[in-house]
Amino acid sequence: MIMKEKQISEHIWKLEFNFYFLIISIWLVKNNNNVFLIDTGISKIWEIACNSASEKGNIRGVILTHGHSDHAGGVNQINAHNPELPIFMDGRDYEYSSGENPFPGRKKVEKIISAEVPIIDLRKINKNDFFELTGLKIMYTPGHSPGHTVFYHDNDKVLIAGDLYTEKNGLLRPPMKQFTSDMPQALLSGRQLFEKIDPKIISVCHGKDVNVPFDFSKVV
């Protein structure tokens, strides 16, 4: 495992963990002296991410793009280490990440988030309060998973895209087919998103960041 940390804008850092042929990323977003983790990666890397975050300010929360194990795999450990830390996720992923049912398109049940971990449903919070707290806009982008959500830093013009896209050779690509619940919906979410925002950087979990302008017709 190789970890590379890079600052991609004034308020955002990206931690890239290289697992052979796959990059798994975690983002750190700073707002005043508060730092928020966007995703936790798999269980073995949560502590590295928290240590990096604590060097930049006070860790005030964990925000999940969705409930897959490579994005929420460290939730149980973080909660055990700091039970008071709020953890946010769109509730439409909870029945799958908690092990009640397999994610759509999969046969195997995965118990990723323990029932003892309190999850704050992004659908039920005040989005203006969330923006004031984090500096991030919540943007619901279903398809890769039922509750997949991306976060837009309006000040830095950075889209934290989770698995909305992957990247190859500097170009955006669709999310991984074998792990995507509904590919047509995922691609539609991506197209519709850019009718609402105008990012300069699109930061994906599995791959390098892509600068805009970009021809989204190439994402097929």
By C-alpha distance, which of 214, 202, 211 is closest to 166? 202
CB 38 within 8 A of CB 52: no
Using the predicted structure, report yes or no on whether residue 80 has a pLDDT greater than 60. Answer: yes
pLDDT for 135-194, tens place per residue? 999 999 999 999 999 999 999 999 999 999 999 888 899 999 999 999 999 999 999 998
Using the predicted structure, report yes or no on whether residue 7 has a pLDDT greater than 70. Answer: yes
CB 183 within 8 A of CB 165: no
CATH numeric code, 2-218: 3.60.15.10
Cis peptide bond upstream of 213, omega within 30: yes
What percent of the chain is predicted at pLDDT more than 90?
A: 88
CB 99 within 8 A of CB 112: yes
Supply the pLDDT for residue 195.
87
The number of residues in the chain equals: 220
What's the rounded mean pLDDT across residues 36-43? 96
Give me 141's structure tokens: 């982008």
* CA–CA separation, 144 and 27 (whole Å): 19
Model confidence band, residue 214 (pLDDT cutoffs 50, 70, 90): low
Model confidence band, residue 219 (pLDDT cutoffs 50, 70, 90): low
- Pairing relation of β-strands 158-160 and 12-19? unpaired
213 phi, psi to nearest 5 deg: -75, 150
pLDDT for 87-146, tens place per residue? 999 999 999 999 999 999 999 999 999 999 999 999 999 999 999 999 999 999 999 999
What percent of the chain is predicted at pLDDT more than 70?
A: 96
Give me 179's structure tokens: 């792990």
User: What is the enclosing helix (H) or strand (E) of 25?
Assistant: strand 22-31
pTM of this structure: 0.95
